[in-house]
Amino acid sequence: MKIGFIGFGEVALTLASGFLMHGIEVSTCIKDRSQKTQKTAKKLELNLYESNRELAETSDFLISAVTPSSAIKIAQDVGEYVKGIYIDINNISPSTAKKALSLIKNGKIVDASIIGPVRKGINVPIIASGPFADEFSKLNEYGMNITVIGSNIGQASAIKILRSSFTKGISALLFETLYPAYEMGIDKEVLKYISETEGEEFKESAKSRIISSAFHAKRRYEEMNEIIELLEETEDPKINKAIQDFYKELHEKLDNLDKRPENYLELFELIKKLKNHQ
């Protein structure tokens, strides 16, 4: 059995290393890739092809692990030549996944999403959907941790997006509740009584969520686009739209936040100062 990777960044490297330990043949194409990637691929003794076309023609499982913006382009390039099962594991929206996978002519396609930190190794939880998701899950024999969600393309990426939208939303809501509490001098108490309802772990995670919201405000604001696009297919997502506005404003307010604040009080102090300077 041959497993091929298009793209050879962190995800591909992690999964490939796991497959190699299970004695499986791993291939990629390193043409036009960085020196570092070429070196890594050679060190791991991968099968190296001159083109993605050759890679597509010879792989039993072809995993697309590229930058999200290249997912469609790559599928277009290899679509005619894919012989085995093509898995899109990129961090993309369901509609992008549908577009990309529709370009794979043999129809042996899987929409896959990594749920959790990829540094966990080959057994990082992965959810998969699509007509060939069951086939893909046979790779669990070689250390993978794939859960098949359904038979439609888009389901796996939708789950990932909806989970992340909820996480972003809670963080924003917490911020909108706790900053006024800070100005009123009751932030510690509000956090305490919220945590009594939400459970033990909430308090510590709340503090780091507030800091992350500020530090990643721009990225979150941008990522909200695909969340809203997905939700809009069903209902008008008012709350998520307001959450996007929240991150946009927070980003604009904190334009010059170049290092991660140590704690949420330091951050709130900064916001108060900026407000008073206006």
Size of the site for a copy of itself (CB under 8 A): 55
Residue 184 in the binding site for a copy of itself (CB under 8 A): yes
What minimum distance in Å lies between the beta carbon of 96 and a copy of itself?
A: 16
Name every residue whose Cβ is closer than 8 Å to that of residue 233 and which is 6 or more positions away in sequence.
none
Binding-site member from 50, 183, 204, 255 for a copy of itself (CB under 8 A): 183
Binding-site member from 8, 19, 179, 264 for a copy of itself (CB under 8 A): 179
What minimum distance in Å lies between the beta carbon of 133 and a copy of itself?
A: 13
Count Cα neighbours of 222 within 13 Å in the Cβ-side half-sphere: 4
Binding-site member from 100, 230, 254, 267 for a copy of itself (CB under 8 A): 230
What minimum distance in Å lies between the beta carbon of 81 and a copy of itself?
A: 32
What minimum distance in Å lies between the beta carbon of 113 and a copy of itself?
A: 10
Residue 30 in the binding site for a copy of itself (CB under 8 A): no
Our CB check for a copy of itself shows the closer of 1 and 184 to be: 184
Binding-site member from 20, 44, 170, 270 for a copy of itself (CB under 8 A): 170
What minimum distance in Å lies between the beta carbon of 216 and a copy of itself?
A: 16
CA distance 148 to 145: 10
Residue 45 in the binding site for a copy of itself (CB under 8 A): no
Residue 130 in the binding site for a copy of itself (CB under 8 A): no
DSSP symbols for the chain: -EEEEES-SHHHHHHHHHHHHTT-EEEEE-TT--HHHHHHHHHTT-EEES-HHHHHHH-SEEEE---GGGHHHHHHHHTTT--SEEEE-SS--HHHHHHHHHT-TT--EEEEEE-S-GGG-TTSEEEEESTTHHHHHGGGGGT-EEEEEESSTTHHHHHHHHHHHHHHHHHHHHHHHHHHHHHTT-HHHHHHHHHHHH-TTHHHHHHHHHHHHHHTHHHHHHHHHHHHHHHHTTS--HHHHHHHHHHHHHHHHTTT--S--SSHHHHHHHHHHHHHH-
Residue 213 in the binding site for a copy of itself (CB under 8 A): no
Residue 252 in the binding site for a copy of itself (CB under 8 A): no
Our CB check for a copy of itself shows the closer of 28 and 213 to be: 213
Q: Locate tokens 């469609």: which residue?
A: 72
Residue 11 in the binding site for a copy of itself (CB under 8 A): no
Could you tell me which stretch among 28-36, 60-68, 194-202, 256-264 binds a copy of itself (CB under 8 A)? 194-202
Q: Are 93 and 229 in contact (CB under 8 A)?
A: yes
Residues 90-129 that bind a copy of itself (CB under 8 A): 115, 127
Handedness of CA 261, 263, 268, 270 (dihedral sign): negative
Residue 85 in the binding site for a copy of itself (CB under 8 A): no
> Which chain residues interact with a copy of itself by CB under 8 A?
115, 127, 149-150, 152, 154-155, 158-160, 162-163, 165-167, 169-170, 172-174, 176-181, 183-186, 189-190, 193-194, 196-202, 230-231, 233-235, 237-243, 245-246
